[in-house]
Amino acid sequence: MIRDEDIIRIREPRLRLWERCYLPQVLRGLWTALRHVLSRKLTVTYPERRRKTYLPRHRGLHRLNKDPLGRVKCVACFLCPTICPARCIHVVGAPAPWPDREKYPVRFDIDELRCIYCGMCEEVCPVDAIELTPIFEMVGLSRAEMIFDKEKLLAIYEATRDIKPMKDPKIVGYTVDNPCSKPARSRGGPAPLRATGFGMPGAAPLTPPPGPGRDAP
Ligand code: SF4
Ligand code: SF4
């Protein structure tokens, strides 16, 4: 029960005549709008114009790394699907056709729409197989297109193999050579990384690398 002394009674302010015509409020609103029109803009007309720098440690689209022989690095240990808080990684393992490991993933799917980009999967991976690239531009025309399978994730590795994603906390030995951190421009300069092609029908097919990974990448 609310006690009387706890009740705060607010008296309605009495407006004077010139205040009741709301002209001062209107003028104050116009002054505020004018100030914002004349002040420095914080927004850009994306995507025609882009900011000069992007955070190199931005956690974006995943990639599945390959080893020097062109095979998928993942050993199907199931640590990443186990730790993933969004439950968006699905791995199907099978006995590996190579003598240096027990298993490899025959299927590896990530639902990029469910992912919360926390980075726990890349932190937990014992062989640095899964990583989050700084790519934040990803599109798809359907939900199914945003479920990235092993082939798409390997294709992203091929497209971004020169980048070493920056992990947080920093891991010794990692360098940040991220094209996204170079000065960007509106038109005519180097194009930023995008995942558009990976999620769209008609994307360039993945070229299998030479070597033992050809049949079972
Ligand atoms: S970034 Fe986080 S939510 Fe996304 S797949 Fe990895 S562990 Fe799951
Ligand atoms: S990506 Fe890494 S953590 Fe995930 S199943 Fe493969 S080896 Fe294990």
Digit-by-digit pLDDT tens for the chain (217 residues) are: 889 889 998 888 888 888 888 888 999 999 999 999 999 888 888 888 887 666 777 889 999 999 999 999 999 999 999 999 999 999 999 999 999 999 999 999 999 999 999 999 999 999 999 999 988 888 889 999 999 999 999 999 999 988 887 775 555 554 444 444 443 344 433 444 555 444 433 344 333 333 333 344 5
pLDDT score of 168: 57
Cβ–Cβ under 8 Å, residues 137 and 195: yes
**C-beta of 74 in contact with ligand 2 (< 6 A):** yes
- Give the Cα separation of 65 and 62 in Å (integer): 10
**Rounded distance from Cα 104 to ligand 2 centre (Å):** 9
**Rounded distance from Cα 150 to ligand 1 centre (Å):** 16
**Rounded distance from Cα 90 to ligand 2 centre (Å):** 10
- Give the Cα separation of 174 and 212 in Å (integer): 28
Cβ–Cβ under 8 Å, residues 134 and 60: yes
Report the residue among 83, 112, 120, 138 best suited for mutation to probe ligand 1: largest number of ligand atoms under 8 A from its CB.
120
pLDDT score of 42: 81
Domain spans, the chain: 62-177
Comparing CA positions, the residue from 53, 96, 55, 59 lying closest to residue 74 is: 96
pLDDT score of 169: 55
pLDDT score of 170: 55
Cβ–Cβ under 8 Å, residues 195 and 140: no
Report the residue among 78, 79, 104, 120 best suited for mutation to probe ligand 2: largest number of ligand atoms under 8 A from its CB.
79
pLDDT score of 208: 34
Pocket of ligand 1 (CB under 6 A): 84-86, 88-89, 110, 115-121
pLDDT score of 14: 87
CA dihedral 157, 142, 104, 80 (to 10 degrees): 90
Residue nearest to atom 2 of ligand 1 (CA): 118
- Give the Cα separation of 166 and 42 in Å (integer): 26
**C-beta of 80 in contact with ligand 2 (< 6 A):** yes
Class of domain 62-177: alpha beta
Q: What is the 3-state secondary structure (H, E, C) of 109-141?
A: EEECCCCCCCCHHHHHCCCCCEEECCCCCCCCC
